[in-house]
């Protein structure tokens, strides 16, 4: 097993071992990828305050998410097509999360189905829902998640239509991959990936094929998917879905203080400050820069989690110190899965926990619950000052601190 000291090590292994179209699917943003890049680089602008001659014994990274104890306040975010990065990827990631003691979230657009993951794990997991125009399908998949014992519903709000991702279009992204001369040449160098894929029956979207009306193969799936994301999703529909679920509800994709307030009014048990990893609205601010404005608006009224851009335990610490109650990681664990399967996901979690633990100690803290702004040095203009204009606002210079 290769020596892994940081998430970047896993990323390099992932790139070497997974087919190009699937690595690019993970490592891409929309349009110019400005927001994708700044999600990570903006963390670097925040500095840490070192403290010395303090008791560093008996440290704890443990926290709580939705009232449940976790080994650290980090959950595995939902990622589509995970089973194409590594055979049976969702099952492997869920098992790694269960053993480590953090939550796993299964995407609607997963390769392994809800039932597959439930069959191969014993701990409850979360299910992420994309709202489709086919209301019968939505009702059925919610019931399937309930039957599988999913303990929370993660409702994604920022993907009513798909942001343009140039790499996916150029690569002809599909699951399973279409056999063109380019993909066949690439796959010929990824023989370990190919052998593992031959051993599994799970190569299509397991939550959709055979469950959605008239979707029985890759061609009908593509047609169905292209037509199904619900452009009319609004807060009233969010309330209706919350009532159908009638359980713990997480609203993902909150990126505005007013929307955070509406999420609270809808009864969200947690909100996820996220720009979908820079894969939707390119040109939006990074998640870490938006976080303080959301914290000021609804802190204490619902759990606030941060997603998008986290690549280290130091990033987790910075998010917590800026007011997040917890975090979600996507690419960080996906790199591990693509690199080494279940062991790679475990390695990613171990890297993040070690970095969080050591950084916390060197900042003079022994418990993640005690982290706060006093542990950080934040640039005075970090949130930025922006000119608002247009019919819905007065023309004035304003900054996010309000």
Using CA atoms, how far apart are residues 62 and 98, in angstroms rounded to an integer?
15
* 230 annotated ligand binder: no
Contact 356, 318 (CB under 8 A): no
- DSSP 8-state code for residue 104: B
- DSSP 8-state code for residue 284: P
* 59 annotated ligand binder: no
Count Cα neighbours of 344 within 13 Å in the Cβ-side half-sphere.
26
Per the annotation, the verdict on 276 as an active-site residue is: yes
Question: Helices marked H in 45-113 — which ranges?
Answer: 89-100
Using CA atoms, how far apart are residues 2 and 8, in angstroms rounded to an integer?
13
Using CA atoms, how far apart are residues 66 and 89, in angstroms rounded to an integer?
25
Number of neighbouring beta carbons within 10 Å of residue 1 = 7
176: cis peptide before it, omega within 30°? yes
Helix (H) or strand (E) holding 47: strand 47-48
Annotated active-site residue in 14, 120, 166, 276: 276
* 6-37 pLDDT, tens digit each: 999 999 999 999 999 999 999 999 999 999 99
Q: What is the pLDDT of residue 390?
A: 57
Q: What is the pLDDT of residue 392?
A: 54
Any bridge partners for residue 388, and if so which? 396
From residue 268, alpha-carbon distances to 77, 153, 255, 324 in Å are 17, 10, 15, 15
Segments in the chain below pLDDT 70: 217-219, 388-402
* 247 annotated ligand binder: no
Q: What is the pLDDT of residue 109?
A: 94
Q: Three-state SS for 83?
A: helix
Helix (H) or strand (E) holding 236: helix 235-245
Instruction: Tell me whether strands 105-106 and 126-129 are parallel, antiparallel or unpaired.
Output: parallel
Give me the DSSP letters along 242-267: HHHH-SEEEEEEE-SHHHHHHHHHTT
* 286 annotated ligand binder: no
Q: What is the pLDDT of residue 140?
A: 96
Q: Three-state SS for 302?
A: strand
Contact 17, 192 (CB under 8 A): yes
Residues 200-235 as b or e (16 or more Cβ within 10 Å = b): eebbbbbbbbeebeebeebeebeebbeebebeebee
Average pLDDT of every residue of the chain? 93
Q: What is the pLDDT of residue 397?
A: 41
* 49 annotated ligand binder: no
Q: What is the pLDDT of residue 172?
A: 86
* 279 annotated ligand binder: yes
* 130 annotated ligand binder: yes
* 331 annotated ligand binder: yes
Nearest partner of 277 among 85, 131, 77, judged by Cα: 77
* 239 annotated ligand binder: no
Q: Three-state SS for 20?
A: helix
- DSSP 8-state code for residue 375: G
Q: What is the pLDDT of residue 395?
A: 40
* 19 annotated ligand binder: no
Contact 123, 150 (CB under 8 A): no
* 335 annotated ligand binder: no
Using CA atoms, how far apart are residues 64 and 325, in angstroms rounded to an integer?
9
Give me the DSSP letters along 265-325: HTT-SEEEE--GGGTSSTTPPPHHHHHHHHHHHHBTTBEEEE-SS--SHHHHHHHHHTT-S
Task: Report all structural domains of the chain as residue ranges with CATH numbers, in order of start.
Answer: 7-383 (3.20.20.70)
């Amino acid at each position: 097993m290769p020596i892994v000291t940081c998430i970047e090590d896993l990323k390099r292994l992932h790139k070497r071992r997974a087919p190009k179209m699937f690595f690019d699917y993970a490592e891409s943003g929309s349009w110019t990828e400005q927001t994708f890049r700044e999600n990570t680089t903006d963390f670097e602008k925040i500095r840490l305050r070192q403290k010395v001659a303090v008791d560093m014994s008996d440290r704890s990274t443990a926290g709580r998410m939705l009232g449940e104890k976790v080994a650290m306040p980090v959950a595995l975010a939902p990622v589509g097509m995970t089973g194409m990065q590594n055979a049976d990827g969702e099952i492997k990631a869920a098992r790694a999360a269960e053993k480590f003691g953090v939550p796993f979230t299964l995407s609607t657009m997963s390769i392994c189905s809800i039932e597959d993951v439930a069959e191969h794990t014993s701990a409850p997991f979360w299910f992420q829902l994309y709202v489709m125009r086919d209301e019968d399908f939505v009702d059925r998949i919610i019931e399937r998640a309930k039957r599988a014992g999913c303990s929370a519903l993660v409702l994604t709000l920022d993907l009513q239509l798909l942001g343009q991702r140039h790499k996916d279009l150029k690569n002809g992204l599909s699951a399973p991959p279409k056999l063109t001369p380019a993909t066949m040449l690439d796959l010929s160098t990824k023989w370990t990936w190919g052998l593992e894929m031959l051993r599994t029956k799970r190569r299509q979207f397991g939550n959709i094929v055979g469950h959605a009306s008239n979707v029985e193969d890759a061609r009908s799936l593509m047609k169905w998917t292209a037509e199904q994301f619900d452009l009319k999703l609004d807060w009233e529909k969010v309330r209706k879905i919350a009532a159908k679920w009638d359980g713990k509800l997480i609203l993902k994709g909150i990126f505005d203080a007013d929307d955070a307030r509406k999420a609270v009014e809808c009864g969200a048990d947690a909100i996820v400050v996220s720009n979908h990893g820079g894969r939707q609205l390119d040109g939006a601010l990074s998640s870490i820069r938006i976080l303080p404005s959301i914290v000021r608006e609804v802190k204490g009224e619902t759990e606030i989690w941060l997603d998008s851009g986290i690549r280290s335990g130091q990033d987790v610490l910075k998010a917590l110190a800026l007011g997040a109650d917890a975090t979600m990681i996507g690419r960080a664990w996906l790199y591990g899965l693509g690199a080494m399967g279940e062991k790679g996901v475990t390695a990613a979690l171990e890297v993040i926990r070690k970095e969080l633990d050591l950084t916390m100690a060197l900042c003079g803290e022994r418990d993640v619950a005690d982290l706060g702004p006093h542990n950080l040095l934040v640039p005075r203009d970090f949130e930025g000052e922006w000119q608002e204009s247009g019919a819905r606002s007065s023309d004035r210079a304003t900054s996010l601190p309000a």
